[in-house]
Structure 1
Amino acid sequence: MTGAELDKDVRRDLGALSSDNATEVARHLVMVAALLDEDPQRALEHARVAQRRAGRVGAVREAAGLAAYRAGQYDEALRELRTARRITGSQVHLPVMADCERGLGRPERALEAAASPEAARLDRAGQLELAMVVAGARGDLGQHDAAVLVLQLPELDGRVPADLAETQDRLREAYDDALVAAGRPPRRRAAPAGGPVEEVDDGVVSWEEE
């Protein structure tokens, strides 16, 4: 890892650092990205080192916040992402921040974040992410029918741009989970390995696979 693997915008943000420090911070950020899925705790260790070396760089605080979130350190994640927001002015991580509130046992605060003016400025991907967090918060509060309603979005069945395909899959999974929590059958049940998918007739049309 040389640090050159970083996105050029992030490398530009590191330009205010000394050359040696920028290189070291970049290496740690590359390791954060590489480890985030398979070993969140190690990713967080790298993120903390980068944060200590470059705490005034928004991209570094974002990386630290996301790594802490994935490692289940929700207090730390909120602190880092709030700092990143102050530095960059970006609301892109608002859904993650709201989910941190859920992780800390504060679903009401997650709902407050979702109702904030900042939430209205999210792009469509961010809005879908936030809808899933809101549904989870409603479920935390025992409001399971409300959780189902939150997720009844056009993207459940409609075609979406390629960059929303993964989000659409997770939206569909979240909707099935919400239906089950509300005491209703999911729209599509998993089939045995190699077998056909079982369509569920619950009065709601199941989606077609793209």
Structure 2
Amino acid sequence: MPIPEDVTGDEIDKDVRQELQSLPKTLAEDVARNLVMVARLIDEDPEGAYGYSKVALRLASRVAAVREAAGFAAYANQKYSEALAEFRAARRMTGGAELWPLMADCERGLGRPEKALDMAGTPEVQKLDKAGQVEMRLVAAGARRDMDQLDAAIVTLQSPELASSSVQPWTARLRYAYADALFAAGRRDEAREWFAKAVEADKDGSTDASDRLAELDGVEFVDAFDEDEDEAENEGDDGREK
């Protein structure tokens, strides 16, 4: 697959670069450039990212960072079985626990929420940093909802991190998940309160909390383009209203 000339491979994280040092120099550069493309495209063009990840995997399947990138690309394309296999491979190579929540979410994607819940109760979770533990809580709550256990999902999300007034990278998503679970349980007033709290924390628009809040408040948004089209239909060719 073609790679833009401005992509040199030096853009990758220094830890990944260090992993690639086990490869011949030219090969390491090729792998690095493909990994850069995976990172660039995974949000806007998941299919493209997946294509570059397969190239990197073909070139260096024994590098943990490559297996991890392939896992993320497969996950972004909802190829959960493939993603799970790649995450497991990366974990075997590194011995780390950071991919545990993603592996559990893959189990959800494969229709096995019970397995995801089992993983949420293992000692591996204690090895995660705070962000990883919050992510695991979100996955566990999602698994409860998959099993139509709404009240259990709500309880799962109730935590010191949810109650905290400080804003962390995970705060908006945690508050949003809690609000959404409350809404699904028919607790609209509480849901509105937590969607509002999610909006306060969501500075980069990572959720649609503002839209959900507006919907609960009965606010309707009108597309400016639709308005222009309606006005044009009501005017004659000479610009006068019909």
- Give the TM interval when normalised to the shorter protein: 0.7 to 0.9
2:78 aligned partner:
72
Q: Is the counterpart of residue 179 in structure 1 residue 182 in structure 2?
A: yes
Could you report, residue by residue, the CA deviation over 1:120-169 in whole angstroms, capped at 9, with x for unpaired residues?
211110000010000000001111000000101122241446xxx23110
Distance 2:135 2:58 in 1: 30
Distance 2:117 2:163 in 1: 25
Could you report, residue by residue, the CA deviation over 1:184-204 in whole angstroms, capped at 9, with x for unpaired residues?
12043513379xxxxxxxxxx
Could you report, residue by residue, the CA deviation over 1:48-90 in whole angstroms, capped at 9, with x for unpaired residues?
1101111111111111101111110000000000000000011
Give the partner amino acid of 1:170. Answer: R
Q: Please tell me whether Structure 1 or Structure 2 has the larger radius of gyration of its CA atoms.
A: 2
User: Following superposition of structure 1 onto structure 2, how do residues 1-210 of structure 1 map, counting pairs within 5 Å?
Assistant: 1-160=7-166, 165-185=168-188, 186-188=191-193, 190-191=213-214, 192=219
Give the partner amino acid of 1:104. Answer: L
1:197 aligned partner:
none
Give the partner amino acid of 2:172. Answer: D
Give the partner amino acid of 1:174. Answer: A
Distance 2:163 2:9 in 1: 41
Distance 2:142 2:13 in 1: 32
**Aligned partner of residue 2 in structure 1, secondary structure:** coil
Q: In the superposition, relative to structure 1, how do residues 40 and 95 fare at CA in structure 2: closer, same or farther (>3 Å)?
A: same
Distance 1:70 1:114 in 2: 22
Distance 2:186 2:110 in 1: 26
Aligned alpha-carbon RMSD (Å):
1.4
Could you report, residue by residue, the CA deviation over 1:15-57 in whole angstroms, capped at 9, with x for unpaired residues?
0111111000000000000001101111111111101111111
TM, length-normalised to structure 2: 0.76
Give the partner amino acid of 1:86. Answer: R
Instruction: Name stretches of at least 5 consecutive residues in structure 1 with no aligned partner.
Output: 195-210
Aligned residues between the structures: 191
**Aligned partner of residue 161 in structure 2, secondary structure:** helix
**Aligned partner of residue 169 in structure 2, secondary structure:** helix
Distance 2:192 2:142 in 1: 18
Give the partner amino acid of 2:18. Answer: R
TM, length-normalised to structure 1: 0.87
